[in-house]
Amino acid sequence: MGIELKPRSVEPPALRRWLIEGCKLIVRNPLPWALFLVLCGVAVPYLAISMVGLSFFSVFAYLLLIAAAHRVDEAGRSSVGTALRRAVPVALAYAGVVALVFAVVGAAAGKAGEYWYAPERVSHSVKDIYSLSYQAFQGFGFALFIASIVTQWLPGTSPFAYHLMALAGSEWTTALRLSDEAQRLNDPAVRYLMRLPWVLVVPAALFPISPLALPLACLWAAVSYAAYRDIFLGIAEKHAVESRSKSAVSASSAQST
């Protein structure tokens, strides 16, 4: 059972601030984001043999990025084991739901077998490998698009429910209630945040720049965490909080001397 956080109404312009803070998170420690790019860059083309498997992997990897953003932001105040123990089961559940959606879509289209396993998609020719990679990254972007619907728009879901369950240890019903309250308090900023993957990841996946879906997914995860941190933890700008803390320590030291 985690600590129940209370959402707050944040000051505008919230979305711009979240975008800036998300970029700062990536720059502060590029390692988790680089690992995500390398892992997905290698794995996604091979996972093209199964759209169900590709969707599961894509969503699971993306959701762990949010936990990675939290870990980067905490800067050693929480162990990797603690972070993963909370985040992995929740990410697995979300990824499983998205994979199930793909399986149902495949069955409805009469292509259930192809969605589960289609080894003929894999070829060894350079031309076909390029084509396969392009299609695979399209699948990655589409999987994240479906994930945005499953985690934010469907009944029983809410934009910060994953963050609250994976990062704060909230129960599902509590996470939904708090996330819905946060959305009401911060409309339209949260509504625009929910549309961010449609603006970033999906267009990249649809056009001949589909590998850009990977770094844009990193940005989406970082911005999403920055919004959660602002609304639920009351930290709008990390460096400002750290600067105030250092100033307070310096002032205290000066008074003691």
**Domain locations along the chain:** 14-246
Other Cβ atoms less than 10 A from the Cβ of 172: the count is 14
240-251 average pLDDT score: 41
pLDDT value of position 50: 78
pLDDT value of position 12: 84
Reply yes or no: is the peptide bond before residue 155 cis, omega within 30 of 0: no
Q: Measuring CA to CA, which residue among 97, 115, 103, 109 is closest to residue 49?
A: 115
Q: What is the pTM of this model?
A: 0.82
Tokens of 100: 């199930």
- Give the DSSP letter of residue 122: -
Angle formed at CA 93 by CA 87 and CA 97, multiple of 5 degrees: 140
User: Which of the residue ranges 100-114, 173-187, 229-243 would you say has the lowest mean pLDDT?
Assistant: 100-114
Q: Which amino acid is at 80?
A: V
In this model, does residue 179 exceed pLDDT 90?
Answer: yes
User: Which of the residue ranges 5-9, 59-63, 95-99, 252-256 would you say has the lowest mean pLDDT?
Assistant: 252-256
In this model, does residue 62 exceed pLDDT 90?
Answer: no
Range among 51-65, 77-91, 96-110, 203-217 with highest mean pLDDT value: 51-65
Whether 11 and 236 have beta carbons less than 8 Å apart is answered as yes
The Cα–Cα gap between 197 and 152 comes to: 11
Confidence of residue 39 (pLDDT cuts 50, 70, 90): confident
> pLDDT tens across 107-133, in order?
776 665 565 655 555 544 444 555 656
Confidence of residue 246 (pLDDT cuts 50, 70, 90): very low
Q: Is 110 left (phi over 0), alpha (psi -120 to 50) or beta?
A: left
Q: Measuring CA to CA, which residue among 203, 105, 96 is closest to residue 151?
A: 96
pLDDT value of position 158: 85
Q: Is 170 left (phi over 0), alpha (psi -120 to 50) or beta?
A: beta
- For residues 36-69, one letter each, b for 16 or more C-beta atoms within 10 angstroms of the residue's C-beta and e for the rest, the string is bbeebeebbbebbbbbbbbbbbbbbbbbbbbbbb
In this model, does residue 228 exceed pLDDT 50?
Answer: yes
230-247 average pLDDT score: 68
The Cα–Cα gap between 170 and 177 comes to: 10
Tokens of 11: 């000051």
Other Cβ atoms less than 10 A from the Cβ of 149: the count is 15
Helix residue ranges, H only, 153-195: 161-167, 172-185, 189-194
pLDDT value of position 196: 81
